[in-house]
Chain A
Amino acid sequence: MSGRESQPINRRSFLKRGTLGTTGLLIGFYLPELRQAHAADSVASNSAASGGSVTLNAWIHVSADDTVTIFIDKSEMGQSVLTGLAMIAADELECDWQKVRTEFAPADKVYFNPQFGAQGTGASTATRTSWEPLRKAGAAARMMLLQAAAQKWGVEPSECRAEKGAILHAPTGRRASYGSVAQAAGKIPVPQEIPLKDPRAFRIIGKPTRRLDTPDKVNGRAEFGIDVRRENMLYAVVARCPVFGGQVASFDASKAKAIPGVKHVLQISSGVAVVADNTWTAMEGRRALDVKWDEGPNAGVTSDTIRKLFAERASRPGHIARKDGDPEAQIKRAVRKIEAVYEVPFLAHATMEPQNCTADVSAERCDVWAPTQNQTNAQKTAADITGLDPSKVFVHTTFLGGGFGRRFESDYVSDAVEASKAVGKPVKVTWSREDDIQHDFYRTASYARFTGGLDADGWPTVWMNRIACPSIMARFGPLKDNFDARSVEICDAVPYAIPNILVDYQLAEAGIPVGFWRSVGASQNGFFLESFIDEIAAEGNKEPYELRRRLLRNAPRHLRVLETAAEKAGWGTPAPAGRFRGIAVVSSYFGYVAQVVEISVDRTKRSLNVHRVVCALDCGRVVNPSSIDAQVKSSVVYGL
């Protein structure tokens, strides 16, 4: 690892640079930490040590050999954000795409996601919030390289241009590769005005582009959190209380400790950790443990008690999330009334890579290697446990074997940090699949009650919807009026033109931990909304697609994807014999999606077979069409 003295740019010159606008392009001040936070074998550190290379800003590093390293400050969990963000920066940088490398960024304020006030990846914000900062980072770096070349040649910068990783001076035919002027570029002041490309001039953005991480994902080289290995590392698993909120009453570790290779058995906040010289031995040790649990207040919770709680809560008015017109009065005047209740269960994220974390705690510093979606919280968690200042906690983000919101949590981080702190060695904690399913922060179970009112012609005039479910946000602070907007997400944004709408929420805490999930509330609420509009269509004897079209007259983006999906699926033409089609449209997180699904029903097996799904998506500007294709198909499979 290179020390501060050997940095190509000294710290003071960075300090002078300060921030650029509000986009978080904070230059240099963080560089020493950036260097320290990276492993000695990292691309950037090596090239920094070799001289002639420079980190032009928090995202872009140019090496003397022309390699461009783009720091990825979002977590790659399959969604292809690594490639997408690199494409955004590279397009403005005008570098040679073949020379682009990536590295995961350390935990640092410069990388805060403006939507969270923390460094994290979730809520479909990664591309949206990175779009402008990364374009500016790329453009600023390009301008500095161009200026450096112009100075070197003693020519006007306006006579130079950047193209495919080099600065060109047409009048004299001179050419300087980025690497050759990188060090000089590091001394150029960061430009204050950073003009961006006309989108029509994008060379990379919008083109189907192969993922940069694929080659390492076909030969086992990609390093996931679970693959981290440190010298003298021990391996741990944790026995956790089978009841949520329960605690260790007492434990007998004698049988576990008798197993060769079991090194330590210790109580940590999540349970009893067995630390051994390999994972399997740790698991064997855990099997031999005798733990008595104090099961706590949730010992009597069952699916039945939860269901009763939800139904009881849903029978009472809740906090009003939306009210249009006078639904209470108008429902009494409705010619026809229809009621429905929908229930969905708790769901485990079940990432392919079970939860895990590796920590190395010493008196001076703490290193955490984690497949995390939430670097800031991982850092804070480790700082709280170790008593170290967060600046002494170095979070190394690995590839994530799936995230889906599960890895926004830091429970696996505290396991590893507590264990490493206790045993004084690096410790990798691995959760078994059973641990992972049994101790999740689940997609919440939810209970939705609907009442619809129809006029004499069968058109809906009243839409009343009550949601009863646990709250995710209650975990992070007291709720105002017991209201969690996430719980009614998209239900409160019914897109249909119905004059009288009431959506309210009843908090129903079930004693089961809940957390973020792919699309969060929309994952269940989309199903509720679109099921009930179908029931309204049936009650009013309306064709479900035509009913939606008519009621979406004020929702053009919904309408467009709906019509596109219907057209591509051949809606209105007869389905093949024995098959049935359904249609739905949902918007969440600025995306608009409509699907037509073709199914058949096997009555003897009491099962549904899905034969075809036609999906229309409007997600705004597309960075990488190949990734969108993969994500859409992936989401359909995930939903099924």
Chain B
Amino acid sequence: MPIEFTLNGKAQRVNVAPNMPLLWVLRDTLGMTGTKFGCGMALCGACTVHINGEAVRSCVTPVSNVAGKQVVTIEGLSEDRSHPVQRAWIELDVPQCGYCQSGQIMSAAALLAKNSQPSDAEIDDAMRGNICRCGTYHRIRLAIHRAARLKDPQAESAKARAGGAELLPTAEFAAQGGGK
């Protein structure tokens, strides 16, 4: 029995074992490798996708569970890196190795969809399940505040203004063509 769901806005039908985790359907069956395998036990967050708007660990989600649902992966967050979280991630140069970042971004996007101005504590709570072995947590937190401001320019949070990213590329430098 094929399983049907909506993937990044398009109808998707797959003919796989119903207990196959969504992660492997995405990666191996559909060739969408932006969603990462980290642990297979919902412990690291690298495989995070949105199912009906909720951040979910695809490595422990049988594909049969998403029948009839809306699945969004990192590839579908925006077509052109224009999602506020992606823009903030680029602006603050968050990734290092980058392997966990699809999951980090998907968790952050789900958080901001529900809470447009999260506090540090709310960010820490929502992002707790996403491990970054490089330790990019400082910039992740700053970038979530920044993304909140990009979504709603009127509401810059106190934390975002507090900075901590003074070594990051400045707008001035970018304008000189030195940044990218």
Q: How far is the CA of A229 from the CA of B105 in the complex (A)?
A: 24
Residues of A contacting B168 in the complex (Cβ-Cβ under 8 angstroms): 208, 626, 629
Which residues between 295 and 342 of chain A lie within 8 Å of chain B, taking CB atoms?
none
Cβ of A210 and Cβ of B169 under 8 Å apart? yes
B46 at the interface (CB under 8 A from A): yes
Residues of A within 8 A of B20 (CB): 278, 280-281
B73 touches A220 (CB 8 A): yes
Considering only CB atoms, which chain B residue lies closest to A76 in the complex? B97
Taking a contact as CB atoms under 8 Å apart, the answer to whether B96 and A80 are in contact is: yes
A8 interface contact, C-beta 8 A = no
Considering the complex, which residues of chain B in the window 131-180 have a beta carbon less than 8 Å from any beta carbon of chain A?
Answer: 131-139, 167-170, 173-174, 177-180
Q: A80 CB to closest chain B CB, in angstroms?
A: 7
Instruction: Give a binary string over B30-55; 1 marks a CB under 8 Å from any A CB, 0 the rest.
Output: 01111111111101101000000000
Is A96 a contact of B90 with CB atoms below 8 Å? no
For window 62-89 of A, CB contacts with B under 8 Å fall at 76-80
Give the interface centre of B86, B100, B131, B180 by most chain A CB atoms within 10 Å: B180
Rounded to whole angstroms, the CA-CA distance of A303 and B125 in the bound complex is: 36
Q: Report if A433-B38 is in contact (Cβ < 8 Å); known contacts: A219-B75, A626-B169, A634-B136.
A: yes
Contacting pair A433 B41 (CB below 8 A) = yes
- A positions within 8 Å CB-CB of B: 76-80, 96-98, 100, 164, 203-204, 207-224, 226-227, 229, 235, 260, 278-281, 283, 350-354, 399-403, 430, 432-433, 625-626, 628-630, 633-638
Q: Using Cβ atoms and an 8 Å threshold, which residues of chain B touch A220? A: 32-35, 73-75, 102
Q: What is the bound-complex CA distance between A48 and B41, given in angstroms?
A: 46
B28 touches A235 (CB 8 A): yes
Contact B180 A210 (CB under 8 A): yes
CB distance from B91 to the nearest CB of A (A): 9
Interface residues of B in 104-123 (CB under 8 A from A): 105
Q: Could you jot down 8 A-B contacts, CB within 8 Å?
A: A79-B96, A98-B180, A215-B81, A219-B78, A352-B131, A433-B39, A630-B139, A634-B136
Q: A97 to B135, alpha carbons, bound, how many Å?
A: 28
Whether B24 contacts A280 by the Cβ 8 Å rule is yes
Contacts of B135 in A (CB 8 A): 633-638
Residues of chain B with a CB closer than 8 A to A208's CB: 167-170, 173, 179
Q: How many chain B residues touch A (Cβ–Cβ < 8 Å)?
A: 60
Docked Cα-Cα span, A204 to B176, in Å, equals: 11
- State A226–B35 Cα separation when bound (angstroms): 11
Cα distance A211–B77 when bound, in Å?
21
Distance, CA A632 to CA B90, complexed state (A): 20
Select one of A214, A280, A353, A628 contacting B99, CB under 8 A. Answer: A353
Tell me, in angstroms, the Cα distance from A430 to B36 when the chains sit together: 12
Q: Contact: B98 with A401, CB < 8 Å? A: yes
Neighbouring B residues of A76 by C-beta, 8 Å:
97
Q: Top 4 closest A-B pairs, CB basis? A: A220-B34, A637-B135, A401-B99, A78-B97
Contact across chains for B178 and A207 when beta carbons are under 8 A apart: yes
Q: Are B178 and A209 in contact (CB under 8 A)?
A: yes
CB-CB < 8 A to B97: which residues of A?
76-78, 351-353, 399-403
CB <8 Å contact, A97 and B40: no
The answer to whether A278 touches B28, judged by C-beta atoms less than 8 angstroms apart, is yes
Please, which residue of chain A has its CB at the minimum distance from the CB of B96?
A78
Q: A218-B101, A633-B138, A637-B135 given as contacts; is B167 within 8 A of A98 (CB)? A: no
Which of chain A's residues have a CB closer than 8 A to the CB of B27? 227, 279
Which A residues lie within 8 Å of B21 (CB)? 280
Contact assessment for B73 and A630 in the assembled complex, using a CB-CB cutoff below 8 Å: no
On whether the beta carbons of B179 and A209 are closer than 8 Å, the reply is yes
* B94 interfacial by beta-carbon distance below 8 Å: yes
Please report the C-alpha to C-alpha distance between residue A350 and residue B169 in the assembled complex, in whole angstroms.
30
In the complex formed, the residue of B with least CB distance to A222 is B98
The answer to whether A279 touches B24 (Cβ under 8 A) is yes
Is B169 a contact of A217 with CB atoms below 8 Å?
no
Contact of A399 among B34, B41, B98, B139 (CB under 8 A): B98
**Contacts known (A213-B98, A218-B89, A278-B28); A226 close to B37, Cβ less than 8 A:** yes
Residues on B with beta carbons closer than 8 Å to the beta carbon of A219: 34, 74-75, 77-78, 81, 86
Chain B residues within an 8 Å CB radius of A433: 38-41, 43-44
- Report chain A residues within 8 Å CB of B136: 630, 634
Task: For A216, list chain B residues within 8 Å (CB).
Answer: 98
Contact with A along B64-75 (1 / 0, CB 8 A): 000000000111
In whole angstroms, how far apart are the Cα atoms of A222 and B75 in the complex? 11
Distance of A93 Cα from B162 Cα, bound (Å): 38
- If A218-B81, A626-B93, A634-B135 are given as contacts, then 8 extra A-B residue pairs at C-beta distance below 8 Å, sorted by A number, are A78-B96, A208-B170, A209-B169, A209-B178, A219-B74, A220-B33, A226-B33, A280-B20
Q: Which of A210, A218, A634 contacts B134, CB < 8 Å?
A: A634
Closest B residue, CB atoms, query A207: B178
Q: Which residue of A lies closest to B21 (CB)?
A: A280
* Chain A residue, CB-CB nearest to B100: A352
Given A208-B168, A214-B94, A218-B90, are A430 and B37 neighbors across the interface (CB < 8 Å)?
A: yes
Chain B residue nearest in CB terms to A224: B99
Contact status A229-B177, CB under 8 Å: no
Contact B95 A207, beta carbon cutoff 8 Å = no
Out of B17, B33, B178, name the residue touching A204 (CB < 8 Å): B178
Q: How far is the CB of A171 from chain B (nearest CB, A)?
A: 26
Nearest Cβ on chain B to A276's Cβ, whole angstroms: 10
Complexed CA–CA distance, A78 and B94 (Å) = 11
Residues of B contacting A224 with CB < 8 Å?
33, 36, 98-99
Q: Is the CB of B46 within 8 A of A352?
A: yes
| Chain B residues whose CB sits within 8 angstroms of the CB of A78 once the complex forms | 95-98, 134
Nearest CB in chain A: distance from B98 CB, A: 3
Q: Which residues of the partner chain A approach B44 to less than 8 Å between Cβ atoms?
A: 352, 433
Q: B133–A350 contact, CB under 8 A?
A: yes
The closest CB in chain A to the CB of B29 belongs to A278
A101 CB, min distance to chain B CBs, angstroms = 11
Residues of A within 8 A of B99 (CB): 224, 351-353, 399, 401-402
Residues of A within 8 A of B36 (CB): 224, 226, 352-353, 401
Which of chain A's residues has its CB closest to B16's CB?
Answer: A278
Among B28, B33, B78, B95, which residue has its beta carbon within 8 angstroms of that of A280? B28
CA of A634 to CA of B138, assembled, Å? 9
Residues of the A chain whose Cβ atoms lie less than 8 Å from the Cβ of B34:
219-221
CA distance A214 to B100 in the complex (A): 13
Give A403's nearest chain B residue, CB to CB.
Answer: B97
